[in-house]
Amino acid sequence: MELVQPSKVPQGGASSTASKKEHDPAYRKLRQLIIKLPMGDQIVLYRNHQEVQQVCDSIWRSTHKRLDFRQLDQELSGDSLSYFLNNMMDNFRYVYFTADRLQENLNVLERAGVKSLNNVQHCELLLSQEPTPKAKSKRQQRDTGAGDAGLGRVVGIAAVLGGSMMPQWPLHALPKMLRNLRRLKVHCEVQVHFIEQFPQLELLVLNGEVAQSALTGILERCKQLKRLFIKCKTAPPSLQGITGCHRLQDISLPMVLFMQAREQVLALPALHLLELTFAGQNPEMTIDCLRYVLDAKSTVIEIVQVNCASFDGPHWLRDAGLGRCSRLQGLVLNNCCFHDREITELNMPRVENYLVLSGCPDLKEYQLLDVIKKCPSLSELYLIDCPQLTGKVLHGIYRIRCSEKLDYPISIILSRCDTISKDYQDTYADYWYFKLPVLKLDRLLEENRPIEDMQLFFYKNVSPA
C-alpha cells in the first residue's frame, strides 16, 4: 500500500497580510508606538483594543475643554490635529485665539472640517508673544487659563500691535462660528463691527483700542450685556447707547469717559460695580469723580476700594466726602499715607463689617485706634504691610471692643506686620488666649492682587426682567 504524503497547507496568509501592512504608514506608526510599551501594557492593549477609542474619548473630554491656539501647534499637527479638532469640536467650552494670526487659526479649523464651536461660551483674543522659557510659559498658562473665574488678569501679551499690523477682516467670521458666546475678552484693537453680533454676550472686556462706531454698536445692540470693562489706554469719546443697557451690572471705565457720561452711567438700573481707572489722570479728577458719585449715591454704596498712591496725603478722604457713606460695609485703602494727621480731621466713614489697610507705611497706632473708635462694630480688620504698628495697638483695640460690649470678636488678619505677630505669639498662652471672645489674630494665608484704581460697589437691586 502506497503511503500518500499529506500536501502542505500554505502558511503564508497571515504573514503576507502583515507584510503588506508593513508598507502602511499608519500601521508603522502604531507599531513604533506599541513597541515602546512594556509587555504587560501591550497585553492590556491587545486584550482591550475595542475599548481604546472610548477611553481616549473620555480622557480628551475631561482634560481638553479649552482650545488654545497659542499652544496647539506645539502638541499636534497635520492629520492628527484635524482628527482631534473634528472629534472634539462639541466639547470645547473655552477658546483662545491669537488675534494677529486669527486667519491662520481659522484655517486650521477649516482644514479639520470644523465650521462652528457651538458649545464655546468663553473666548479670548490675545496677541502673539515671543517664545519664552518653559517656567514663564507655565506661569502664563496658569494666569490666562482662568476661563470663567471672574475678571482675573490675563497676562502673557508681549506684543502691542498698531492698526496697520492687525488685520480686522477675520474678526467677522467669529460670530457665525461662536453662536452661543457669552464672555469675550479682547486684547487687540477693534475697528470693525462684529461684537454686537453675539446675541447672548454677557461679559465684554476691551483691553485694546476700540473705534467709536464699534463701541456704539455694542452698546446699542448687546442687550444681554451684564459686565463691561473698557480698559484701553485711549478711550473713545462717547458712551452713546449706554442708557439702553438695562441689564448692565458691572462697568469699568477710564475716568475721562465716566465724566463724559456720568449721569447715564449712574442711572443704570442694575448697577452694582463701578470701577474707575486712573490711566495717569491727576488726583483732582479722581476726587471730582468720587465726589460726584457720592453726591448721587452715598446712601446705597456698600464697599469702597481705592488705590491712594496718587494722593498727596489723606485729605482726599475729607475732600471727596467719603464720610457721607451711611451704609458702608467695607473699606479698602491701598498705599495710603496718613502724614500724622488726626483721623477726626479726615471725616473717615463709619464702616460696619471689614476694613483693609494695605501698604500704609506711616500709619501710627493712635491713628488706627481712632479709626477703630469710628468703626466700633467691625468684624474684620486687615493690616497688610503697616511697619510702624506694634503689639501695643492690640491692647488699645481690646479696650475699645470691651467698652462696646459686643457679642462677637474682632478678627485681625495680618500680613507683613511681623512686630505685631511676634508680640501676640509671645504672650498668647498667658494673655491673649483668654481674650479670644473679644479679639483674635489670624494670618492672611493667600494675598489677592493689590487694589488698582478705584472700585465702588452698590447694594444690589433686583435685576430687570
Task: Answer whether residue 188 is part of any domain.
Answer: yes
Beta bridge partners, 123, equal 95, 184
Higher pLDDT, 425 or 142: 425
DSSP 3-state assignment of 29? helix
CB crowding 60-87: b at 16 or more within 10 Å, else e:
eeeeebbbbbbebeeeeeeeebbebbee
Q: Count how many domains the chain has.
A: 1
Instruction: Give which of 245, 306, 260, 312 is closest to 282, Cα–Cα.
Output: 312
Instruction: Report d(CA 333, CA 309) in Å as an integer.
Output: 10
Per-residue pLDDT tens digits for 1-51: 444 444 444 555 555 555 556 667 777 777 777 778 788 777 777 777 777
* Radius of gyration of the chain measured on its C-alpha atoms: 31
pLDDT surpasses 50 at 446: yes
| pTM tops 0.85, yes or no | no
Instruction: Give which of 101, 204, 82 is closest to 151, Cα–Cα.
Output: 204
What is the DSSP secondary structure assignment for residue 113, as one 8-state letter?
A: T
Instruction: Give which of 398, 391, 403, 334 is closest to 365, Cα–Cα.
Output: 391
Instruction: Report d(CA 128, CA 450) in Å as an integer.
Output: 27
Instruction: Report d(CA 334, CA 248) in Å as an integer.
Output: 27
Task: Answer whether residue 306 is part of any domain.
Answer: no
Q: What is the pLDDT of residue 11?
A: 52
Strands (E), 362-438: 380-384, 410-415
DSSP 3-state assignment of 315? coil
Beta strand 454-458 with 301-307 is: antiparallel
Task: Answer whether residue 195 is part of any domain.
Answer: yes
Per-residue pLDDT tens digits for 232-290: 888 888 999 999 999 999 999 999 999 999 999 999 999 999 999 986 668 899 999 99
Task: Answer whether residue 98 is part of any domain.
Answer: yes
Per-residue pLDDT tens digits for 113-137: 999 999 999 999 999 864 444 444 4
Per-residue pLDDT tens digits for 292-351: 999 999 999 999 999 998 898 899 999 999 999 999 999 999 999 999 899 989 989 999
Q: What is the pLDDT of residue 307?
A: 93
CA dihedral 18, 19, 22, 24 (to 10 degrees): -80
Instruction: Report d(CA 346, CA 317) in Å as an integer.
Output: 6
Task: Give 400's contacts (C-beta < 8 A, 6+ positions apart).
Answer: 369, 372, 373, 376
Task: Answer whether residue 143 is part of any domain.
Answer: yes
Q: Which domain holds residue 181?
A: 57-203
Report the amino acid identity of residue 103: Q
Q: What is the pLDDT of residue 162?
A: 37
pLDDT surpasses 90 at 370: yes
Q: What is the pLDDT of residue 246?
A: 94
∠211-280-274 over CA atoms, to 5°? 70
Task: Give 128's contacts (C-beta < 8 A, 6+ positions apart).
Answer: 98, 100, 101, 158, 159
C-alpha cell at 8: 502542505
Q: What is the pLDDT of residue 4?
A: 44
Task: Answer whether residue 115 is part of any domain.
Answer: yes
pLDDT surpasses 70 at 140: no
DSSP 3-state assignment of 185? strand
Instruction: Report d(CA 398, CA 435) in Å as an integer.
Output: 8
Cα end-to-end distance, the chain, whole Å: 104
In this structure, the chain runs to a length of: 465
Instruction: Give which of 443, 394, 398 is closest to 416, Cα–Cα.
Output: 443
Q: What is the pLDDT of residue 298?
A: 93
Task: Answer whether residue 272 is part of any domain.
Answer: no
Q: What percent of the chain has pLDDT over 70?
A: 85
Q: What is the pLDDT of residue 146?
A: 36
pLDDT surpasses 50 at 143: no
What is the DSSP secondary structure assignment for residue 210, as one 8-state letter?
A: B
Instruction: Give which of 461, 427, 453 is closest to 441, Cα–Cα.
Output: 427
Per-residue pLDDT tens digits for 156-204: 332 333 344 578 999 999 999 999 999 999 999 999 999 999 999 999 9
Task: Answer whether residue 256 is part of any domain.
Answer: no
Q: What is the pLDDT of residue 87?
A: 84
Instruction: Give which of 67, 72, 94 is closest to 180, Cα–Cα.
Output: 94
Residue 95 phi/psi, 5-degree rounding, is: -135, 135
Higher pLDDT, 54 or 362: 362
Task: Calculate the average pLDDT of the chain.
Answer: 84
Q: Is the distance from CB of 456 to CB of 293 less than 8 angstroms?
A: yes
